[in-house]
Copies of this chain bind each other. A is one copy, B any other.
Amino acid sequence: MMKINKSVIINSIQKGIRLDGRKLEEFRDIEIIPNYINKNPEGCALVKIGKTKVLVGVKMGVGKPYQDSPDEGVLMTGAELSPIAAPEFESGPPREAAIELARVVDRGIRESKMINTKALCIKEREAVWLVFLDIQILDYDGNLFDAAALGAVVALMNTKIPTYDLKTEKIDFEKYSGKLELNEVPISITARKISGKIVFDPNAEEEELVDSRLTFAFKENGNICAMQKGGSEPITKDEILDLMKKSSDQSKIIRKKLKNIKIDK
Contact = CB atoms under 8 A, between A and B. Distances in A.
Contacts of A168: 125
Q: Report, as a range, how many residues of chain A touch the other chain.
A: under 10
A168 B170 CA distance: 25
A169 B170 CA distance: 24
A67 B168 CA distance: 9
A19 to B, nearest CB: 42
Per assembly, the copies of the chain total 3
Contacts of A170: 67
A170 B66 CA distance: 11
Interface string A163-181: 0000011100000000000
A130 to B, nearest CB: 16
A82 B22 CA distance: 49
A71 B75 CA distance: 32
A67 B167 CA distance: 12
Interface string A119-150: 00000010000000000000000000000000
A64 to B, nearest CB: 10
Interface string A53-97: 000000000000001000000000000000000000000000000
A49 B168 CA distance: 48
Contact of A67 (B67, B125, B169): B169
Contacts of A125: 168
A258 B67 CA distance: 40
A124 to B, nearest CB: 11
A189 B67 CA distance: 43
Contacts of A169: 67
A120 to B, nearest CB: 20
A168 B169 CA distance: 22
Nearest to A168: B125
A241 to B, nearest CB: 38
A170 to B, nearest CB: 6
Contacts of A67: 169-170
Nearest to A70: B168
Nearest to A68: B170
Nearest to A171: B67
A169 B67 CA distance: 8
3 contacts: A67-B169, A67-B170, A125-B168
Interface of A: 67, 125, 168-170
Nearest 3 pairs of A and B residues by beta carbon: A67-B170, A67-B169, A125-B168
